[in-house]
C-alpha cells in the first residue's frame, strides 16, 4: 500500500509527539487498531447525565427545577474555564496538541475574546431564567421546595469562584465591616445570617464547612491574578482600553445586577404572596438579592459616581413592573 504525502506527514508528527513519552509509535498505532470507535453518547457520558436527576417528591415540575440548576452549574463551569485562562495568560499548545503550560503575558486579543465568551454565557443564563419565573407551576413549586430544606442556590460554590476570579478580594468584603479581610467577612455570609439574632443559618454553616478552605486558598492564589489585575497588565491605546471597559462593565452588570435580579424576580413571584415566605436555606433574600443593598461592583474604577449610586435601580424597576 502506498502512503500519500499528507498521511506520511501525520505519521511523522505522531512519531515526534510520542517520542517525548519514551514510547514507540507502533505501540500506539496497534492500540488504535484494537480500540472501539468513539460514540457521541460515550464521549459526553449521556446515559450517566440523564440519571443525575433524583427528585425528592413526585411533583413533575421538580425535574424542571433540578435540570435547570444542573444546566446553570455547567454554564458556570464554562465561565470559570474562561476566567482561569485569562488569569493564567492562556495556554501554550504546540501544533501537535502538546501542552506547554501557560503563557508569560496576556494579550489584548486573548483577553477580549475570553470576556466576550463569558458575557455570552451569562446572557444565555439570564435569558433562560424565564424558565424559573414562568416555567413552573407555582403551587407545585411552593410544595416541593419544602422538601429541599435546608439546601439553597446560595450554596453554589462555582458562583463564588467566579466572583473571586473577577475582582480583587477587597471588593467582595461586607460593606458593614470591610476592615476584616478573611473569607468569613465576605459579603455573601451576610445573606445567610439571621437578621434578628445575627446567628449563621445552618445553610451557611454547611457551606463554610465544606468550601471555606478551598475558597480561601483560591482567593490567596488569585492575589494579583484576578481579571481586573490582568486588565491592568495590558498596555493599551485609549481606544482599546475603552473597548475592554465596555466589556468589563457588561460582565459586571450581568453578574451583579441582571443575574441577581432575575433571581429576585423569581423569588417575588413564587415566595412573596400573602406575606413573606422564607427561602429554603433561611437566606434573607429580600436583603441579599437586590443589588442596591449589597452594591457589589467588580470594577468600581470604570463606573461613574451616578452609575454606582443608582446601581441596579433602573433595571429593577423595569423588571418588576413587567
Cα 61 from chain centre: 25
Mean pLDDT taken over the chain: 86
In-domain check, residue 261: yes
- Average pLDDT, integer, range 117-136: 93
**pLDDT, tens digit (0-9, with 9 covering 90-100), for 38-49:** 899 999 999 999
Cis peptide bond upstream of 150, omega within 30:
yes
Max distance between CA atoms of the chain, in angstroms, equals: 82
In-domain check, residue 145: yes
Residue 287: pLDDT over 70: no
At 274 the pLDDT is 42
Per this entry, what is the length of the chain?
Answer: 322
In-domain check, residue 146: yes
In-domain check, residue 279: yes
Instruction: Report the 3 state secondary structure along 71-128.
Output: HHHHHHHHHHHHHHHHHCCCEEECCCCCEEEECCCCCHHHHHHHHHHHHHHHHHHHHH
We report the CATH number of the domain holding residue 177 as 1.20.58
Count the domains in the chain.
1
In-domain check, residue 131: yes
In-domain check, residue 291: yes
Q: Is pTM, for the whole model, over 0.85?
A: yes
Spatial contact of 85 and 117, defined as CB atoms under 8 Å apart = no
**pLDDT, tens digit (0-9, with 9 covering 90-100), for 269-281:** 766 654 545 555 4
SS3 202: helix
Expressed as residue numbers, the domain containing 293 is 65-320
Amino acid at each position: 500500500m502506498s502512503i500519500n504525502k499528507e498521511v506520511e506527514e501525520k505519521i511523522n508528527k505522531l512519531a515526534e509527539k510520542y517520542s517525548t513519552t519514551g514510547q514507540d509509535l507502533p505501540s500506539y498505532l496497534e492500540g488504535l487498531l484494537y480500540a472501539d470507535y468513539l460514540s457521541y453518547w460515550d464521549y459526553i457520558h449521556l446515559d450517566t447525565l440523564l440519571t443525575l436527576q433524583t427528585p425528592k417528591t413526585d411533583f413533575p415540575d421538580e425535574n424542571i427545577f433540578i435540570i435547570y440548576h444542573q444546566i446553570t452549574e455547567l454554564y458556570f463551569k464554562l465561565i470559570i474555564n474562561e476566567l482561569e485562562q485569562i488569569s493564567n495568560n492562556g495556554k501554550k499548545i504546540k501544533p501537535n496538541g502538546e501542552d506547554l503550560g501557560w503563557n508569560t503575558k496576556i494579550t489584548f486579543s486573548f483577553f477580549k475574546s475570553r470576556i466576550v465568551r463569558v458575557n455570552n454565557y451569562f446572557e444565555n443564563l439570564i435569558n433562560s431564567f424565564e424558565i424559573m419565573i414562568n416555567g413552573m407551576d407555582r403551587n407545585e413549586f411552593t410544595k416541593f421546595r419544602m422538601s429541599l430544606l435546608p439546601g439553597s442556590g446560595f450554596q453554589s460554590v462555582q458562583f463564588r469562584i467566579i466572583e473571586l476570579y473577577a475582582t480583587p478580594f477587597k471588593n467582595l468584603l461586607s460593606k458593614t465591616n470591610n476592615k476584616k479581610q478573611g473569607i468569613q467577612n465576605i459579603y455573601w455570609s451576610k445573606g445567610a445570617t439571621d437578621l434578628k439574632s445575627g446567628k449563621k443559618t445552618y445553610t451557611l454553616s454547611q457551606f463554610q464547612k465544606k468550601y471555606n478552605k478551598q475558597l480561601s486558598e483560591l482567593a490567596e492564589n488569585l492575589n494579583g491574578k484576578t481579571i481586573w489585575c490582568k486588565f491592568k497588565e495590558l498596555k493599551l491605546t485609549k481606544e482599546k482600553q475603552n473597548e475592554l471597559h465596555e466589556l468589563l462593565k457588561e460582565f459586571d452588570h450581568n453578574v451583579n445586577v441582571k443575574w441577581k435580579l432575575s433571581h429576585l424576580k423569581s423569588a417575588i413571584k413564587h415566595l412573596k404572596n400573602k406575606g413573606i415566605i422564607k427561602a429554603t436555606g433561611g437566606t434573607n433574600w429580600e436583603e441579599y438579592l437586590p443589588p442596591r443593598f449589597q452594591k457589589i461592583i467588580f470594577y468600581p474604577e470604570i463606573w461613574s459616581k451616578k452609575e454606582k449610586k443608582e446601581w441596579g435601580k433602573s433595571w429593577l424597576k423595569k423588571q418588576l413592573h413587567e
